[in-house]
Structures are given as C-alpha cells and as structure tokens.
C-alpha cells in the first residue's frame, strides 16, 4: 500500500506527531525512557497512537525512538530490548485501522564517534541490528530519524537492509547556519542526501530541531538536490523550559498547519510533526490537506 501511495501524485501521506511530548504531558517525568511505557503503562501509548489515527494520520510509528541496544544500555534496559520493541508493535496494532500503516521507528543511539565519543560504525550497526530484528515482522516501513551523524545513518540503513526489504525513510536532523543547513556533527545537507541516495533509500527526510518556518527553507534546498520523495516533520517552534522543568512549545496548531501546507506545495510527499506537536496539530493539517483536494 505504501508504494502505491508514493506513486499516486494526488496523495499526500500524513504521518503522526510527537510521542515524547505527549507522554510527558501525561505526567511522566523527564529522564525516564518513554519507551518503557510500552510495558509499564501501555494504555497511555495506545491512547496516543489511537488519537493520531483518529486525527487523520495515514501511518503512525512505534514508540521505539530510544529502543536501540546502545541507548537502552544507558538505562540498564538492554536485556529487555526484545520485550520493549515487540510490545511497541503490539500496542500500535491494537488501534491501527484498516488501510493504515505501522512504521518502525529507529532513533539515534545517543553515542558519538571520536573525538566527542567512542562509537564506531561496527557498534552502531550491531546496536541497530539487534533492534531491527524485533521490529521487522510487525511493521510496514521504516523511519530512521533525528540522526545527526551521516555515518550513523548509513550504519542504521545498512542494518535495516541486512534483514528487511521494506521501504526506508531516512530523516536527518539539521540546524540552520550562516553557511546553510548542517547537522551538529558538521555534515552538510548536500553530503547527507548524496550519501543516503547511494544507499538506495526510498524517501529522504528532515525532522526535529527546526521549526516549521525553517523547514520551509530546508525543503527548498532539498528539492534542488534530490528527486526522491521527501518527508518533513518539524518541531512546533522553539522550545522553552517552564518553571517545573517541562519543555513547552508555543506555536499554535493553525500556524504550524499553515506552514505544513506551504511545505506540501513546495513538494513534500510525507508530512507530520515532531516535538511539541499533538493529535490536534495533525487534525489541523488534515483539514488543510482536505481543502487542497
């Protein structure tokens, strides 16, 4: 079904919005791995997935952003990698309507290569492979997201291709500089796109870090570099910390949706939201997309 959607010029694929910020809204303390709720409070995770589908999302991703082996090690949860990932699929399957899709979410390991850290390609590859094997049977496609080092992205893509033939959305996270868009590790937009194109991924994306207005600029540059379908999931503006230490995003759903429609007009095939976005945001985008038809 996903491949048919990609071929259909009239179809804009609506992704889901933020998971972490929705979980934190429900009183989960920052510092706790949201993925552990797949077991401990699965009803919260399922409720969020259900709300996104009902708001209009064509596809939602598993609550497994932090469930790679290397990231789980930080929480001393690596022995539960199978349980966390498989339970994430189970929670999403409970509420996935017919003709909608389940996306396997793969987030960053949180480990960096020298001189910042000690991570190697082999460690990244092995870590992702452990996670991917548990997600593969239950998902329709992959979203490798919020990666800030192109070498880590390549390791994740190659790990997916080791066990899966399902489509891949390869989504880096960029910051805007005076010289253009770069990852925090110094990879340029052009370099990232060329390297993932060499890996034959189906969709190239950008998510997180940037707000919707900056993503308008990003997609203009992306369209000049690649002919691949593009996925865009911005944050809801700039984050600010409240007195209680909770991260808050102030952009309205209407303002965000207006920018997303501009992003669609500029050529995005897949759109959704990242941090600070909610089912209300997706509902607003859906309303705008329906008006375009």
- What is the pLDDT, as a whole number, of residue 277? 96
The model's confidence at residue 250, banded by pLDDT at 50, 70 and 90, is confident
Asked if pLDDT for residue 269 goes beyond 80, the answer is yes
* Least trusted range by pLDDT, from 130-134, 150-154, 173-177, 241-245: 241-245
pLDDT digits (tens, 9 = 90+) for 205-215: 999 999 999 99
- What is the pLDDT, as a whole number, of residue 243? 58
The model's confidence at residue 118, banded by pLDDT at 50, 70 and 90, is very high
CB under 8 Å to 207, separation ≥6 — which residues? 145, 146, 171, 173, 231, 232, 233, 234, 274
- What is the pLDDT, as a whole number, of residue 25? 86
Q: What is the spatial distance between Cα 275 and Cα 293, in angstroms, rounded to a whole number?
A: 28
Ramachandran category for residue 278: left, alpha or beta (phi over 0 → left; psi -120 to 50 → alpha): beta
- What is the pLDDT, as a whole number, of residue 200? 96
User: b/e for 230-239, b at 16 or more Cβ within 10 A?
Assistant: bbbbbbbbee
Asked if pLDDT for residue 293 goes beyond 70, the answer is no
The model's confidence at residue 24, banded by pLDDT at 50, 70 and 90, is confident
How much is the mean pLDDT over the chain? 95
pLDDT digits (tens, 9 = 90+) for 49-87: 999 999 999 999 999 999 999 999 999 999 999 999 999
The candidate with the shortest Cα–Cα distance to 229, out of 199, 269, 263, 201, is: 269
Asked if pLDDT for residue 17 goes beyond 70, the answer is yes
Ordered domains of the chain (ranges, CATH): 2-292 (3.20.20.330)
Q: What share of the chain is helix, strand, coil (3-state, %, to 5)?
A: 45, 20, 35
Hey, which bits of 138-219 come out as E strands? Answer: 141-147, 168-172, 175-177, 180-182, 203-211
């Amino acid at each position: 079904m996903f491949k048919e959607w990609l071929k259909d010029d009239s179809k804009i694929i609506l992704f889901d919005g933020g998971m972490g910020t929705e979980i934190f809204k429900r009183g989960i303390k920052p510092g706790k791995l949201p993925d552990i709720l797949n077991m401990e409070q699965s009803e919260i995770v399922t409720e969020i997935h259900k709300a996104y589908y009902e708001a209009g999302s064509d596809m939602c991703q598993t609550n497994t952003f932090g469930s790679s082996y290397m990231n789980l090690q930080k929480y001393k949860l690596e022995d539960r990698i199978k349980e966390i990932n498989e339970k994430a699929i189970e929670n999403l399957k409970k509420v996935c309507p017919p003709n909608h899709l389940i996306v396997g979410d793969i987030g960053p390991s949180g480990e960096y290569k020298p001189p910042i850290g000690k991570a190697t390609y082999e460690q990244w590859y092995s870590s992702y492979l452990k996670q991917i094997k548990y997600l593969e049977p239950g998902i329709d496609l992959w979203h490798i997201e919020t990666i800030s080092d192109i070498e880590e992205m390549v390791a994740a893509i190659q790990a997916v291709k080791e066990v899966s033939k399902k489509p891949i959305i390869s989504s880096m996270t960029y910051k805007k500089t005076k010289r253009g868009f770069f990852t925090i590790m110094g990879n340029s937009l052009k370099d990232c796109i060329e390297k993932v194109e060499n890996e034959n991924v189906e969709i190239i994306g950008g998510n997180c870090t940037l707000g919707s207005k900056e993503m308008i600029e990003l997609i203009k540059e992306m369209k000049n570099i690649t002919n691949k379908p593009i996925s865009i999931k911005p944050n809801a503006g700039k984050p600010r910390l409240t007195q209680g230490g909770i991260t808050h995003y102030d952009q309205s759903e209407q303002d965000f949706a207006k920018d997303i429609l501009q992003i669609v007009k500029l050529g995005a095939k897949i759109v959704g939201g990242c941090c600070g976005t909610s089912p209300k945001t997706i509902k607003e985008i859906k309303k705008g997309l329906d008006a375009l038809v």
